[in-house]
């Protein structure tokens, strides 16, 4: 099948966002641009009416299908529920639930109503939920009875502006504040006219993963749909009739931008799996659901790599055409493993909560350089620069490391950090947004991730990105996963310290430790290779599966772990 984008560099030169806008409908009579209209109404009113929009796989493997036409009706009902409850434009509606159909209906119904949708990951404990609801000034929360009892009830007193809690799975109202969602839906009309929506209307509030500190709330507007549409088409390479599966939970930006919006706006069928990671279940989903395009994350790929399953031999994966990864660096060894194991291209791509959608990517039509995150999306200007207090200096020399910066002007750029204008302003130098990541650009225009600016290690006059050390360590046959930090050292500034998880069947002893260090020294040179190495059972990770280097560092130095333990592991 021919990729939608066949010649990246030419398309990049001629691209403009208006052309993508022209491919969408816009609200009737020029009344603006609304994400839910493009993702749902447009298809429900056209030839995709009966196409399955969401195919939901329950824990027990039974299946519920929702067509575009069903989705239109149910999201309209929910928009009417919000209307009935007095929710106004710009109010925030939160969801706190596992991957159940209501979550998807609530998200899109909220957007129809021009309220702001904010998803919360269902494994959060009471503190992280409270933090986010109060900071986001939640007016309505949709959750399940189980999560209400376990987590929400105990923080209700501390949430005076939260007017309504809607329970997805009960027929009766518990109080004037805690209501039955099915009861409200039953009485709501399935006809709803989306109000005029200026493209700059706030639509989505997403909290970052909290890898480098307290999670930040990033606010996005309806216009972001253009990025979701274009990346769905040119990076995920959606074709009519495709079956798509994004394994990210909508509690994170990937699970909303690509687990809800991008597949729907492109009119494909979106698989939603209620269950958590399980290798055998995942492979059988790829087979039975005939998945064509699969978007997942390095943490999941690493788990698959650790298992002794040969998917191509045990499962029929002939429908799989493309595999993509985001969230953390996908080391070259993992790219090679995926290509060998699945016999399809695996496309690493880079973006952040703040950018709302994919910014730098490998493309189906471009050769993949394993370990590189690819080239900028057409319509996005990315470059490497030195950053000072007042401005930036673009680095033109190929291969030189610097800050990864993006030029303002693409539709899905965040418009604010919640209640933190100062921090927002600090991210910009004129039109340039400072991503906080370090990277390099090679002579062919491919970008290579170096690390987060905060994580960079200064050792004996060298600047070392943890990622390059980690990707070398994982090439050692005994190493499953690695994380690297800088540990203050009076002689050399910081010394490179590695934490290593071994593959099953390897004994953690001093010989192996020396062998791994020697392996790294040989590959990287003694200045950059780890001087210390500890074996660990697991690496600490955020709820979304990212390595928490700051926690490793705090533990190593005996510093307080800060708000982290309550926030991300609560
Ligand atoms: P916080 O901002 O709260 O510290 P976070 O940055 O991890 O958390 P996200 O917005 O979910 O929150 O993650 C975006 C970051 O993840 C990027 O800035 C980058 O550091 C990392 N990342 C994402 N994709 C890739 C990739 N393909 N390669 C390397 N790093 C990636
Ligand atoms: Mg970040």
pLDDT tens by residue, 137-196: 999 999 999 999 999 999 999 999 999 999 999 999 999 999 999 999 999 999 999 999
Q: Which two tokens stand for residue 534?
A: 């500890």
**495 forms bridges with which residues in the sheet?**
487
Q: Is the CB of 208 under 6 A from ligand 1?
A: yes
Same domain, 371 and 468: no
H or E stretch at 533: strand 532-535
What was the pLDDT predicted at 545?
83
Same domain, 409 and 538: no
Kindly report the CATH number assigned to the domain that includes residue 519: 3.30.300.30
Same domain, 141 and 220: yes
Do 349 and 321 touch, CB atoms closer than 8 A? Answer: no
Do 249 and 259 touch, CB atoms closer than 8 A? Answer: yes
**432 forms bridges with which residues in the sheet?**
407, 429
Same domain, 390 and 524: no
Q: Is the pLDDT of residue 463 over 90?
A: no
Confidence band for 563, pLDDT divided at 50, 70 and 90: low
CA distances from 383 to 370, 409, 433, 446 (A): 20, 14, 10, 11
DSSP character at residue 422: H
Q: Is 133 helix (H, G, I), strand (E, B) or coil?
A: helix
| Residue 464 resides in a domain | yes
- What is the extent of the structural domain holding 469? 457-569
Q: What is the value of pTM for the model shown? A: 0.93
Same domain, 181 and 316: yes
Same domain, 414 and 352: yes
Q: Is 486 helix (H, G, I), strand (E, B) or coil?
A: strand
Do 104 and 260 touch, CB atoms closer than 8 A? Answer: yes
| Residue 411 resides in a domain | yes
| Residue 442 resides in a domain | no
Pick the last residue of a domain from 406, 437, 468.
Answer: 437
CA distance 267 to 49: 10
| Residue 88 resides in a domain | yes
Pick the last residue of a domain from 372, 402, 437.
Answer: 437
The number of folded domains in the chain is: 2
Same domain, 84 and 226: yes
CA distance 296 to 298: 7
Instruction: Look at 40-44, 306-310, 403-407 and tell me which has the smallest mean pLDDT.
Output: 306-310
Question: How many CA within 13 A on the CB side of residue 5?
Answer: 26
Q: Give the pLDDT confidence of 11-52 residue by residue, as tens digits.
A: 999 999 999 999 999 999 999 999 999 999 999 999 999 999
Same domain, 265 and 202: yes
Same domain, 536 and 401: no
Q: Is the pLDDT of residue 564 over 80?
A: no
Residue nearest to atom 18 of ligand 1 (CA): 352
Same domain, 461 and 432: no
| Residue 383 resides in a domain | yes
Instruction: Say which ligand is closest to the CA of 252.
Output: 1
Q: Which residue has the tokens 């502006």?
A: 161
Mean residue pLDDT of the chain comes to 95
Q: Is 269 helix (H, G, I), strand (E, B) or coil?
A: strand
Do 478 and 451 touch, CB atoms closer than 8 A? Answer: no
User: Among 406, 405, 407, 383, which Cα is nearest to 395's?
Assistant: 383
CA distance 105 to 75: 5
What was the pLDDT predicted at 332?
93
What was the pLDDT predicted at 570?
30
Give the position, in ligand 1's atom list, of the atom nearest the Cα of 348.
27
Q: Is the CB of 215 under 6 A from ligand 1?
A: yes
| Residue 452 resides in a domain | no
- Read off the pLDDT of each residue in 514-541 and give the average, rounded to a whole number: 94
Kindly report the CATH number assigned to the domain that includes residue 104: 3.40.50.12780
Same domain, 228 and 309: yes
For 29-60, b where at least 16 C-beta lie within 10 A, e where not — what string?
eeebbbbbbbbbbbbbeeebeebbbbbbbeee
Instruction: Look at 332-341, 369-378, 543-552 and tell me which has the smallest mean pLDDT.
Output: 543-552
Q: Which residues surround ligand 2, an ion (CB under 5 A)?
A: 208
Q: Is the pLDDT of residue 565 over 50?
A: no
Task: Give Cα 558 to chain centroid, integer Å.
Answer: 31
Distant-in-sequence, close-in-space partners of 550: CB < 8 Å, separation ≥ 6: 211, 212, 213, 454, 455, 564
What was the pLDDT predicted at 468?
85
| Residue 449 resides in a domain | no
What was the pLDDT predicted at 351?
98
Residue 259's Cβ-count burial label (10 Å; 0-12, 13-18, 19+) is: buried
* Residue among 299, 324, 352 to mutate when testing ligand 1 (max atoms within 8 A of CB): 352
Instruction: Say which ligand is closest to the CA of 251.
Output: 1
CA distance 401 to 395: 8
Q: Give the pLDDT confidence of 196-211 residue by residue, as tens digits.
A: 999 999 999 999 988 8
Residue nearest to atom 1 of ligand 1 (CA): 210
Q: Is the CB of 455 under 6 A from ligand 1?
A: no
Q: Which residue has the higher pLDDT, 214 or 383?
A: 383
Q: Is the CB of 109 under 6 A from ligand 1?
A: no
CA distance 40 to 68: 6
Q: Is the pLDDT of residue 567 over 80?
A: no
Q: Give the pLDDT confidence of 101-126 residue by residue, as tens digits.
A: 999 999 999 999 999 999 999 989 99
Question: How many CA within 13 A on the CB side of residue 32?
Answer: 16
Same domain, 430 and 465: no
* Residue among 249, 255, 328, 417 to mutate when testing ligand 1 (max atoms within 8 A of CB): 328
| Residue 27 resides in a domain | yes
Confidence band for 377, pLDDT divided at 50, 70 and 90: very high
Q: Is the CB of 547 under 6 A from ligand 1?
A: no
CA distances from 389 to 153, 407, 409, 421 (A): 45, 17, 22, 17
């Amino acid at each position: 099948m021919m990729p939608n984008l066949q010649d990246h560099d030419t398309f990049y030169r001629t691209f403009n966002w208006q052309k993508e806008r022209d491919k969408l409908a816009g609200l009737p009579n020029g009344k603006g641009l609304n994400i839910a209209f493009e993702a749902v109404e447009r298809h429900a009113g056209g030839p995709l009416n009966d196409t399955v929009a969401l195919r939901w796989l329950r824990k027990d493997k039974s299946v519920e299908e929702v067509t575009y036409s069903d989705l239109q009706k149910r999201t309209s009902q929910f928009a009417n529920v919000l209307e009935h409850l007095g929710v106004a434009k710009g109010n925030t509606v939160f969801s706190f639930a596992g991957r159940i159909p209501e979550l998807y209906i609530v998200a899109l119904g909220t957007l129809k109503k021009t309220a702001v949708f904010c998803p919360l990951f269902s494994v959060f404990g009471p503190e992280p939920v409270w933090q986010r609801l109060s900071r986001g000034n939640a007016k309505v929360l949709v959750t399940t009875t189980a999560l209400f009892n376990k987590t929400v009830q105990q923080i209700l007193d501390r949430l005076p502006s939260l007017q309504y809690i809607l329970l997805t799975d009960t027929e009766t109202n518990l109080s004037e504040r805690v209501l039955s969602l099915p009861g409200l839906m039953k009485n709501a009309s399935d006809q709803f006219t989306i109000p005029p929506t200026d493209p700059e209307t706030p639509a989505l509030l997403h909290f970052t993963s909290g890898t480098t500190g307290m999670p930040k709330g990033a606010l996005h507007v309806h216009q972001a749909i253009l990025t979701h549409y274009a990346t769905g088409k040119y990076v995920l390479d959606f074709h009519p009739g495709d079956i798509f599966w994004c394994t990210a939970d909508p509690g994170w930006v990937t699970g909303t931008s690509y687990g809800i919006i991008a597949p729907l706006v492109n009119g494909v069928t979106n698989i939603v799996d209620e269950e958590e990671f399980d290798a055998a279940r995942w492979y059988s989903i790829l087979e039975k659901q005939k998945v064509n395009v699969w978007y997942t994350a390095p943490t999941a790929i690493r788990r698959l790599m650790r298992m002794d399953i040969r998917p191509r031999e045990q499962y029929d994966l002939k429908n799989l055409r493309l595999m993509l990864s985001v969230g953390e660096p996908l080391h070259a060894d993992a790219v090679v493993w995926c290509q060998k194991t699945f016999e399809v291209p695996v496309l690493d791509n880079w973006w952040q909560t703040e950018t709302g959608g994919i910014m730098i990517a490998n493309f189906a039509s471009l050769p993949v350089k394993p370990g590189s995150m690819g080239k900028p999306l057409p319509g996005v200007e990315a470059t490497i620069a030195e950053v000072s207090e007042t401005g930036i200096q673009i680095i033109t020399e190929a291969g030189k490391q610097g800050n990864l910066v993006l030029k303002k002007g693409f539709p899905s750029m965040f418009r604010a950090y919640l209640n933190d204008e100062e921090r927002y302003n600090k991210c910009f130098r004129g039109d340039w947004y400072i991503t906080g990541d370090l990277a390099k650009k090679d002579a062919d225009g491919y970008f290579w991730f170096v690390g987060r600016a905060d994580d960079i290690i200064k050792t004996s006059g060298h600047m070392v990105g943890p990622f390059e050390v980690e990707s070398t360590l994982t090439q050692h046959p005994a190493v499953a996963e690695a994380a690297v930090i800088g540990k203050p050292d009076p002689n050399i500034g910081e010394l490179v310290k590695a934490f290593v998880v071994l593959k099953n069947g390897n004994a953690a002893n001093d010989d192996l430790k020396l062998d791994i260090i020697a392996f790294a020294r040989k590959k990287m040179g003694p200045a950059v290779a780890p001087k210390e190495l500890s074996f660990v059972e697991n690496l600490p990770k955020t709820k979304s599966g990212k390595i928490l280097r700051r926690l490793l560092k705090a533990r190593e130095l005996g510093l307080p772990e800060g708000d982290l333990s309550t926030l991300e592991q609560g």
